[in-house]
Amino acid sequence: MAKPIPRIGSRKNRHIGSRKNMRRIPKGIIHVQASFNNTIITITDVRGRVISWSSAGTCGFKGTRRGTPFAAQTAAGNAIRTVVEQGMERAEVMIKGPGLGRDAALRVIGRSGIRLSFIRDVTPMPHNGCRSPKKRRV
């Protein structure tokens, strides 16, 4: 049986380096989603493409400790560290949810050296809510 001829343009033949550090992002959007059980921080560029993310769960917190302000603080620090290395200088902050990690994450973002253009609360609020269940008949 003959040997297969290696293709010139195949991915196996050439080394693909990490593209994370090649992009320089001067401005971005920091999304903080703080629920009662977890805090998720996602950092995107202005077009909405994710650059970096972190959550209290990925930082090693388990169970009820994921919802604590300290866990949110650690998660925000991890997410921001990577984008500061990529050269982010300005950011907008969108905070969503009622969790305890809202303020702690915002405090870390403010101390990181990134200039914040605005902080917006984008928590979804129902205008009239869901339809209530029908009356119980006994």
* pLDDT tens readout for residues 78-129: 999 999 988 899 999 999 999 999 999 999 999 998 999 999 999 999 898 8
Under a CB-based contact definition with an 8 Å cutoff, are residues 41 and 32 in contact?
yes
User: pLDDT band at residue 67, thresholds of 50, 70 and 90?
Assistant: very high
The tokens 């998720």 sit on which residue?
Answer: 40
Tokens of 47: 């077009």
CATH class, domain 27-121, is: alpha beta
Distance separating alpha carbons of residues 59 and 53, to the nearest angstrom: 11
Break the chain into its structural domains and give their ranges: 27-121
